[in-house]
Amino acid sequence: MSINVKNIHKRFDEFTALDDISLDFPSGELVALLGPSGCGKTTLLRIIAGLEQADLGDIILDGENASNTHVRDRQVGFVFQHYALFKHMTIFDNVAFGLRMKPKAQRPSESKIREKVFSLLQLVQLDWLADRFPAQLSGGQRQRIALARALAVEPRVLLLDEPFGALDAKVRKELRRWLRKLHDELHITSIFVTHDQEEALEVADRVVLMDHGKVEQVGTPEAVYNHPQTPFVYSFLGSVNVFHGRAEQEHLQVGNEQLRHHNDSYGHAQDVFAFARPHELKIVENNHHEGVSARISRVLSFGIETKVELDGLNGTHYEVHLSQQQRQDQPLHIGQEVKLVPSALALFPKEIETLRLSEQQG
């Protein structure tokens, strides 16, 4: 089922949670709503589900306006962060609950319910736990049962609100892979909320990045990570180094020092934010003719790369990632004074970002 969100506005007293949000979710797609706490992603999910009412705008489900449709009639499955399983019921009864609550004319027979429940428990690979109670399961197992319960009523849309937020890192990673595999088997239109960028990039077909109630960028994981369209997206996705300076022609003036950039849009001087990923910075000797001065504060060498943390002379923090070969070829020590030279810089005019932030806060 396709979902179209049209010009959704939502305020809570003086706080604007959603500010004119319009999005399309094609049928069968798995989409992540990604952003910091308070950006509006959970509010949007709840409005799609019918658990919240928008002040303005429409929710279109499969071409029909469902803005005033009751939550029980939207055929939406909702999975919460904290499972919301009934503690006094067995796992079997938890999954069967939605089927048994259907109107009598639509309710399957007990034999059909039993067949359906065990089919779902097999799908989430937990049929052997049917007679246990939620307290006897691990967090990861309980979340899979919560998903099975949501699927029991055969929803046309599956909505997940921070589904793995209460789990430890190892279990989260396992369940991410499992959810992606399950989606590829079922092809239910699914939207999940997360503030975990790695989770969104690993699992989703598309990512919707949100901040201050607005959509910042929509695209595939590769597109939003490799081609950020705003300073927020650049800074939110992955580690990034920020330089504040003045761009003119091919140079960026950072204090009394210069960096070279390759953006043709700066024929006249302009104040900018400049971004470089940790792997896009090179550490050179302090007497190099260009670069930004910094002092090495920490060297972390494990796994396939070395992370070097540095302090700029103006208090700015920088991070550089080196391959193990680069680390071996370039001896580094704490307290060493060096310069940082970027291989690539992404520039954003400061006045445009300042205007955008003032509009969000106005």
Domain boundaries, the chain: 3-235, 239-361
Q: How confident is the model at residue 58 (pLDDT cuts 50, 70, 90)?
A: very high
pLDDT for 157 equals 92
pLDDT for 24 equals 97
**53 or 328, higher pLDDT:** 53
- Sorted by sequence, the CB contacts under 8 Å of residue 125 that are 6+ apart come out as 144
**358 or 344, higher pLDDT:** 344
pLDDT for 162 equals 87
Q: How confident is the model at residue 267 (pLDDT cuts 50, 70, 90)?
A: low
Mean pLDDT of 55-81: 90
Q: How confident is the model at residue 219 (pLDDT cuts 50, 70, 90)?
A: very high
In this model, does residue 357 exceed pLDDT 80? Answer: no
In this model, does residue 169 exceed pLDDT 60? Answer: yes
239-361 topology per CATH: OB fold (Dihydrolipoamide Acetyltransferase, E2P) (2.40.50)
3-235 topology per CATH: Rossmann fold (3.40.50)
Task: State both tokens at 253.
Answer: 């003036």
Global pTM value: 0.86
**DSSP string covering 267-292:** SS-EEEEEEE-GGGEEEEETT-SSSE
Q: Which helix (H) or strand (E) holds 255?
A: none
Average pLDDT of the chain to the nearest whole number:
90
pLDDT in tens, 71-104: 888 888 888 777 678 899 999 999 999 899 888 8
Percentage helix, strand, coil for the chain under 3-state DSSP, each rounded to 5: 30, 35, 35
In this model, does residue 360 exceed pLDDT 70? Answer: no
